[in-house]
């Protein structure tokens, strides 16, 4: 079991294309927040210019299953068929040992699992796109996914939006600059 420390856990969850990752990267640059990024493990292949041990720990399906068997994860989920994602306990311990707060860019189910395990230490923020149509437009503009994958992500988003009410805060990303400022204020107030 993960040993609880003084650090906070800041969960950012959202459907693909909501702007969550952009907001998390912005927050990480704000030195006064004292944040470090929890790198998730995944069994999926790299996309674009992703870097192992920076964007994700890219591991094989077999390795992922071994970590599950060994109870090495705080949470894990099969997000898409044979694409598993999870948070290794040692990753959170690494960040806490640096005296920092942990920020997660994580799927909805995983985010809620972290909140359930650490209810007092966690601020769970759901980043919501203005609409499904805008989210789909953002996914297409990325030009990283096939048409089939975009349709899969849109269908998944419609389900994920139902979970928004279970988060501490819903941050609607109509305007990215405003969403960044709002996220900063929420995090700053929580970690005080």
Dihedral sign for Cα atoms in the order 19, 24, 25, 29: positive
- The beta strands (E) that lie in the chain are given as 9-13, 35-37, 40-42, 56-58, 73-80, 83-88, 101-106, 122-128, 169-172
Q: Please give the model's pTM, rounded to 2 decimal places.
A: 0.85
Give the fold, CATH level 3, of 9-191: Rossmann fold (3.40.50)
Q: Where are the domains of the chain?
A: 9-191
What does the pLDDT read at residue 80? 77
The two beta strands, 169-172 and 9-13, are unpaired
Residue 168 in 3-state DSSP?
A: coil
Which residues does residue 128 pair with via DSSP β-bridges, in sequence order? 172
Mean pLDDT across the stretch 88-92? 95
Chain segment 9-62, per-residue pLDDT in tens: 999 999 877 889 999 999 999 999 999 999 999 999 998 899 999 989 999 999
What distance in Å separates the CA atoms of residue 166 and residue 174, rounded to the nearest whole number?
21
Chain segment 96-136, per-residue pLDDT in tens: 999 999 999 998 999 999 999 999 999 999 999 887 887 78
What does the pLDDT read at residue 150? 83
Chain segment 147-180, per-residue pLDDT in tens: 888 888 788 888 888 999 999 999 999 899 999 9
What does the pLDDT read at residue 99? 94
Instruction: Specify the higher pLDDT residue, 138 or 25.
Output: 25
Residue 108 in 3-state DSSP?
A: helix
Q: Give Cβ neighbours of residue 57 (< 8 Å, ≥ 6 apart).
A: 39, 40, 41, 42, 88
What does the pLDDT read at residue 5? 60
With cut-offs at 50, 70 and 90, classify the pLDDT of residue 87: very high
Residue 104 in 3-state DSSP?
A: strand
What does the pLDDT read at residue 2? 56
With cut-offs at 50, 70 and 90, classify the pLDDT of residue 4: low
What distance in Å separates the CA atoms of residue 179 and residue 160, rounded to the nearest whole number?
19
With cut-offs at 50, 70 and 90, classify the pLDDT of residue 143: confident
Nearest to 186 by CA among 46, 13, 27: 27
Structure tokens at 62: 């077999």
Chain segment 62-75, per-residue pLDDT in tens: 999 999 999 999 99
The H or E element that residue 119 is part of is none
What does the pLDDT read at residue 161? 87
């Amino acid at each position: 079991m993960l040993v609880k420390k003084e650090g906070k856990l800041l969960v950012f969850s959202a459907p693909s294309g909501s702007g969550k990752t952009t907001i998390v990267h912005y927050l990480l640059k704000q030195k006064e927040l004292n944040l470090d990024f929890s790198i998730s493990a995944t069994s999926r292949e790299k996309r674009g210019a992703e870097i192992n041990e920076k964007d994700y720990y890219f591991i094989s399906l077999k390795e992922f299953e071994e970590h599950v068997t060994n109870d090495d994860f705080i949470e894990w989920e099969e997000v898409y068929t044979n694409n598993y994602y999870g948070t290794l306990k040692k990753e959170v311990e690494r960040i806490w040992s640096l005296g920092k707060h942990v920020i997660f860019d994580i799927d909805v189910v995983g985010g809620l699992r972290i909140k359930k395990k650490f209810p007092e230490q966690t601020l769970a923020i759901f980043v919501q796109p203005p609409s499904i149509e805008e989210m789909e437009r953002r996914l297409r503009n990325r030009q990283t996914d096939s048409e089939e994958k975009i349709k899969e992500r849109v269908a998944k988003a419609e389900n994920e939006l139902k979970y928004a009410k279970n988060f501490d805060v819903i941050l609607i990303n109509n305007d990215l600059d405003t969403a960044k400022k709002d996220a900063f204020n929420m995090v700053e107030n929580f970690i005080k």
